[in-house]
Amino acid sequence: MREVKVAKSAGFCFGVQRAVDMVYEEASKADNTDRKVYTLGPVIHNEQVVSDMESRGVYVVEDTDSIEDGPGTTVIIRSHGVPKDVINTLKEKNVNIADATCPFVSKIHHIAEEKYNEGYHIIVVGDAKHPEVEGICGWCKNSADVIGSMEEALNYNSHKDKKLCIVSQTTFNYKKFQDIVDIFLKKSYDILVMNTICNATEERQTEAGTIARQSDAMLVIGGKHSSNTQKLFEICKKVCTNTYFIQTLDDLDLEKLQSFRSVGITAGASAPNNIIKEVQSYVRYEQ
C-alpha cells in the first residue's frame, strides 16, 4: 500500500461552501414553481458541480442582459463578487439578489471604494482577467492598475503624484505579493499596503508546499480555470518535480505514479470533498 498524505486544508473553503449552499437552497425554493434562478458566471470553477446545479434548474449567464426582469427571478452573486454597477443594474431590474460574495472579497470592495474616495490610486495585485479582480476594479470606477508579476511592478512608473493603496486578489501567491510590494517600496512611492490574501489561501499554500517537499509525487486537484488551484500547482511544482494537475480521477495517469512510494494530495477551493476522497483511495491502493 502506497503512503498518501492529504492536505487538511484541501477542498472547499468557507466562501465557496457558502456560495454552493446558497445556490442549492435557492434552487430548492424554486422547485416546481415558475421562478427563475441565475448565477452570474459559474458559481465555482468546477464543471461537475456546475453541471449538477444546471440539472436542478439553475441558469448560468455571463451578463445582466440575459436575466429576466422582475421579482420572480433570483440572481446569485458568486463568491468572486461583481462590480458595483452590476449590483445597481440588478436592483433596477427588480430581481431578488442572493449575494454569495466571499466576505474576504467584500472587504476588498469596501477598501477599494473608500480609499479611492479618499484620493488614493488603487493597485490590485492579481490576474487582470480574473472575475474577482474585475469586480474589485469596479468598486473604484475601473481606475485601478492591475499588477500580476514582478516584471510589471518593476516597469510601473505611473501616478508618482498620488498615494497608492495596494490590495491583493484573495488567492494570490503570498510570497509573490510580498516581492511586488517590496518593489513599490524601493521606488519610493507613498503606499498603503493591505494584505487582502485570505487566511485560508495562505494556509492552503503553505501546507501544499510542505507536503510537496515531503513527497515523491504530488497531485493537485481542482478546476482547470481555478486561479487558486493554479497557484497551488505552481508552488508544488517548484519543490516537487513530479507534480500533476487533475480535475477528477479520470485525469489521473496511474502509470506515472507506479514508482513512487509517497504521494501528496492537495486541492483548490473548487474541489468537492467526494472527488478528493476518491482520488485518495484510488492512489493509496492501486499499485
In whole angstroms, what is the distance from residue 45 CA to residue 13 CA? 13
Asked if residue 123 and residue 185 are part of one domain, the reply reads yes
pLDDT in tens, 5-15: 999 999 888 88
Range 116-125 average pLDDT? 98
What is the pLDDT confidence band of residue 286, given thresholds at 50, 70 and 90? low
What pLDDT is attached to residue 46? Answer: 79
Whether 132 is a known active-site residue: answer yes
Asked if residue 211 and residue 137 are part of one domain, the reply reads no
Would you mind telling me the total number of residues written for the chain in this entry?
287
Q: Is the pLDDT of residue 22 over 80?
A: yes
Single out the catalytic residue among 132, 151, 234, 286. Answer: 132
Partners of 98 in the β-ladder: 76
Look at residues 256, 254, 232, 257 and name the one whose alpha carbon lies nearest to residue 245. 232
> What strands, in cross-sheet order, belong to the sheet with 145-147?
145-147, 121-125, 164-168, 191-193
Asked if residue 110 and residue 84 are part of one domain, the reply reads no
Number of folded domains that form the chain: 3
173 touches 209 (CB < 8 A): no
Asked if residue 8 and residue 64 are part of one domain, the reply reads no
CATH number of the domain that residue 48 is part of: 3.40.50.11270
In whole angstroms, what is the distance from residue 129 CA to residue 127 CA? 5
pLDDT in tens, 166-206: 999 998 988 999 999 999 999 989 999 999 999 888 899 99
Asked if residue 91 and residue 27 are part of one domain, the reply reads yes
95 touches 71 (CB < 8 A): yes
In whole angstroms, what is the distance from residue 90 CA to residue 80 CA? 17
In whole angstroms, what is the distance from residue 197 CA to residue 209 CA? 17
pLDDT in tens, 90-114: 999 999 999 999 999 999 999 999 9
Asked if residue 262 and residue 245 are part of one domain, the reply reads yes
This prediction has a pTM of 0.86
pLDDT in tens, 231-267: 999 999 999 999 999 998 999 888 888 889 999 999 9
Asked if residue 273 and residue 234 are part of one domain, the reply reads yes
Report the mean per-residue pLDDT for the chain.
Answer: 93
Q: Can you tell me whether residue 105 is helix, strand or coil?
A: helix
Q: What domain range includes position 86?
A: 14-101
Domain boundary among 101, 124, 151: 101
